[in-house]
Amino acid sequence: MTTPTFAQHCNEIFDAIVALYHRTDDVDAQFVNPYDPASIDGQLAAKNWIDAVQWHLEDIIRDPDIDPVAALALKRRIDRSNQDRTDRVEDIDTYWRNQFAGVTLQPDATLNTESPAWAIDRLSILALKIYHMREQAQRTDATAEHIARCQGKLDVLLEQREDLSTAIDQLLADMAAGRKYMKVYRQMKMYNDPSTNPVLYGKK
């Protein structure tokens, strides 16, 4: 049996967590991490759970009949979720920076435009897109045109995941060989910080 690549392993974890979320399909369900939370697998699982919950929060807030007060509370919850998502991505990048800390860079080593964790973040979102597009393609109450259109989109998403997985594995191989290197840039989101958001510090 062929050992899965790291990206393939990520996809397996993400698919499992997306399925776990949909056992309850409840944005308030408690997440029990099936992996060691301190391990990279545990970090990936926690990251995908955040994405799954936020995906459904974004669905809820688009209800045209939502109460405005509830919508505001939901928007603030989504803002907190975005910050949690960013923090998780940075933790995963810290893991990779530590993994490659001892690598000797080649003289012509280059900096990649995207860090490993932000590429992995895209894989996590793709797992959700694939799950929900497959759900649409398998509907029994939709028109044939709708099902065909969603199946076409599903095919593209699956191809995109395969291509992105290959690119991530290539990036990690290049970093392990010293052909590429990474930097971890903290996102420094200003709107969540009461010291940098003028609307917030102006109220002091």
Listed by start position, the domains of the chain span: 6-182
Mean pLDDT computed over 154-179: 98
- Express each pLDDT in 102-142 by its tens digit: 999 999 999 988 999 999 999 999 999 999 999 999 999 99
Output the pLDDT for position 48.
98
Per-residue pLDDT band for 204 (boundaries 50, 70, 90) equals low
| Per-residue confidence band for 184, with pLDDT thresholds at 50, 70 and 90 | confident
In 32-140, which residue ranges form alpha helices assigned H by DSSP?
A: 40-61, 68-99, 116-137
- Contacts within 8 Å (CB) and 24+ apart, 74-83: 78/54, 79/191, 79/192, 81/50, 81/53, 81/54, 81/57, 82/54, 82/189, 83/189, 83/192
Element (DSSP H or E) covering residue 104: none
Q: What would the mean pLDDT of 173-201 be, rounded to a whole number? A: 79
The whole-model pTM stands at 0.90
Mean pLDDT of 170-176: 98
